Structure 1
């Protein structure tokens, strides 16, 4: 049974004396947080993302991940066969030991005036040369160890042990998913209403009941001359890692955050471009006053009142079409966040309309 039918049945069951006053349901004009929404479509990117590849040509000797697991920065992921560079390193280290011993011997002879100083300096130069070669070999050996550059989640691995890899060949992906970047575009005319730090919400078709909170991090420095839009990047927290790179998101920006006076949209009486409400005078035995109001923005079920009412004013929200200016009404109750219209009607019906 609809609300209007329920109200009709309720009124029909009242005694004649009680029917002299129209039963209505009221709502108070209250101050509420409000924002003008701006909607857009955006695409997610990982906070950090990298495609792992090798810088040398070599065979894979070891793989320490399967894909999908969390890894820590610096963790070893892939080891390439490195027998040859390690052999070169050991040879260089042996040569360093030999030249270091030669330097020490010549230094002792120089102290006894048995070796010229120039020969000592030459031996030290040769030692520095081999030490530099060792440092270069050690740096080159690091290229045979592929490690995670940051904490993240591994993607699918593309290779197996024994695969010959070449520089630039894709081996795996790594994404940092605890925070996501959301890129979208807004019309040029809205540029003045945007600012870094502005809050927004985002929704995904994959999780229709979830709302993801974020804020604008960066506003693009250029406007596209073709689409007349500006790129915007927001950051979204993603602690549960439900969001993934590449997902399409419906973005709603909260512009012009403010406290404003709000009433139910059902209380409005539109007349062309004008709007009125029926205010209930509680201190005058429920007398109705038809009052003109100036409305602002709307959202589902609610409307912003810019002029004509003050906080706490009681207006008719249901039963508007059954009463008029100057009449006196019987208030069934006041609808709010904890009380619905149906509950008020059913409570009054169960109470016999008293």
Structure 2
């Protein structure tokens, strides 16, 4: 009858109010035996959230007992079993533009020690960024073992042609001023060093390929080139 319906409605409102207070205070009262028997039917303010895909929670965007409303973002969910590797192809690396989708590249990271992983090229851009003077490369890598994490720094090595003999100097020997690269070679007098402009090619961080400007066997200053550059600029002032 009407009194029974009103009592049931009052009970539901009471349960909802209790859960609201629990959420605000951040703790849960011990349920009575009767409440325990009712189970989920009495938990009117609890909503199950089902993920749209398998993955892991990378970030939780709310605090315990915080009130949320429709449309709020609660979690950042990610499937990290496969990841994208983003790299920039600088001007000296543009030979890699001959790569095609599916070709392998090697991936290394300080977090992996000496371990090397393999990724496959997914996309190579054609437009040069005016800010970085680079072309983007995107590769896909299997991360089912969870060794990599989103946002990690990695180094990508691209194998191009067969190994060939080239003229190269240590990276520390090459200095730059006003977009011109040069090295220092011994002068005609003892203790004298002179500037020698070069056209640089590929740079792997340890060696710089010299396309022109030096002859094979020429001696260059490998340590102290920056100091010589500073002295040279001071002489011009």
**TM-score class normalised by the smaller sequence:** 0.3 to 0.5
Structure whose CA Rg is larger: 1
Structure showing the higher strand proportion among its residues: 1
TM-score (norm 2): 0.44
TM-score (norm 1): 0.31
